[in-house]
Amino acid sequence: MKVVAAYRDIFTRCLEALERIILDRVSFEKEGRRMNLEQYQNAELGPVIDRILQLPEEFSFEEKLVLLLAMAPHLKPGFLEDIMARALPEGGEFIAFGGVKGQQHRGILPTGETALYLLAGTDIVQRLEHQNMFNSDARFALHGLLHVGSVAQGEPNMAGPLIPDSDWLEKILLGKEAAPVYSVEFPARRITTSMLWEDLVLHPQTYSRIDDIQIWMSHHQKVLQDPAFGRRIRPGYRVLFYGKAGTGKTTTASLLGKKFDIPVYRIDLSRVVSKYIGETEKHIELVFSRAQRKNWILFFDEADALFGKRTAVQSSNDKFANQEVSFLLQRVEDFEGLLILASNFKSNIDDAFLRRFHNIIHFPLPGVAERYKLWNQSVPDSMTTSPDIDWRQIADKYEISGADIVNVMYYATLKAHSRKNDLLTRKDIYEGIKKELKKQDKTFSD
């Protein structure tokens, strides 16, 4: 992996220091002597590690060494092989040191056992003490920086590889944190919008409910910090957007993220739901845990597929489907950020989820006043309007959504460009409306 040039020298210095510590540990173990790691936390190594890892002050020197150990194969393939060759010049195995072979990476990857050997050698009491740093309530987990990978059933838990968080690792090594790659492992895409709040046209009551969300986003931290009341409420805000397609649900979610400079990720439910038992829960956990650490807004579009009503148990499939919903219910309740579910119909959502929402917001089709405003706002700046077009009459006659209106205007604008002029004609507007109504099996009348 390529390293930023400005960091190359300090990375090398840290790896050399880590190699020296590991080799000293091997020597001390052979000679039966006790090793004190604090002697290595000096002016030569300590500040350099801090400069690389960029961690809060609460992290101990031992934790920093473990993170450096986990990073080593990403910096220098063959790092642990070189150390083992020096520690065991005549060959042989060193079981206490741990380490596993990667699937694509041909070298040795450090494991939890490698970390424990680095910190405590073969001292059982110290190894058990240091193993606590990998607990779910310890700093590695709370900051989402590192965890020990899974192992085959019956094998020691600490035999799993050390897995650093990919976002944190990329930030440390390359100086930036890229957006996660959409995949089966991370079934979510970031959504953005070029629209502004003034472009959004909603029913006044819907606007009022959206303001409630903005108030929470601006002030919820102050409430949580209240010593008396803060402990009585759970962090997080859960809201349901429901209404027909094209009424502004996705746009509103995108604008909330844009206003507060928070990434919004839309969950791909087709990737989340799996036919394999336990896989759906795994996919859900990956998205929620990452969003929790990154303070993202999660947006579940067409949420009926995952948040729908539980069914009576008539088969094993029903049983496992209900288990998935129960797991999701708990995960939703534990999420500390803004969670938005979108559905065409409120009645499709399981009552257990509805009871846990802080806000349920209806996005109705725009009324006459809203449609009139949408028609006027949608006229491109580069276009002029034919005098025989009466937007008020069109708004009053055709009950269509904001998305439909944009589609109509897009069609009419393309037709104008095809004629090599800038005039929106009544004929093209009505033809566009006819096409949109036909999609919905509705009758068009001029």
Q: pLDDT tens, 43-98?
A: 667 888 888 888 888 999 999 999 999 999 999 999 999 998 888 877 667 888 88
Average pLDDT of the chain is 86
**Residue among 240, 249, 255 at smallest CA distance from 203:** 249
The residue ranges of every structural domain in the chain are: 5-174, 188-362, 368-439
pLDDT at 309: 54
pLDDT at 325: 67
- Please give the Cα distance from 426 to 411 (Å, whole number): 12
pLDDT at 120: 93
Q: Which residue has the higher pLDDT, 438 or 311?
A: 438
CATH code of the domain occupying 368-439 = 1.10.8.60
- For residues 242-253, average pLDDT: 93
Query: What are the tens digits of pLDDT across the range 160-212?
Result: 999 998 888 888 888 776 677 777 667 788 999 999 999 999 999 999 999 99
Is residue 296 left, alpha or beta, with left meaning phi > 0 and alpha meaning psi from -120 to 50?
beta
pLDDT at 4: 45
| Contact call for residues 239 and 357 (beta carbons, < 8 A) | yes
pLDDT for 3 beyond 50: no
Query: What are the tens digits of pLDDT across the range 277-304?
Result: 556 677 778 788 888 888 899 998 887 7
What percentage of the chain exceeds 90 in pLDDT?
A: 50
pLDDT at 312: 44
The CATH class of 188-362 is: alpha beta
Residue with tokens 């206003």: 259
* C-alpha dist (Å) from residue 130 to 112, 125, 394: 10, 9, 72
pLDDT for 131 beyond 50: yes
What percentage of the chain exceeds 70 in pLDDT?
A: 89
pLDDT at 7: 44
**Residue partners of 226: CB distance under 8 A and separation at least 6:** none
* C-alpha dist (Å) from residue 275 to 30, 270, 281, 300: 52, 11, 11, 20
- For residues 400-418, average pLDDT: 94
Q: Which of 84-93, 131-140, 157-166, 405-414 has the lowest mean pLDDT?
A: 84-93
Element spanning 100, H or E: strand 100-101
**Residue among 299, 402, 303 at smallest CA distance from 346:** 303
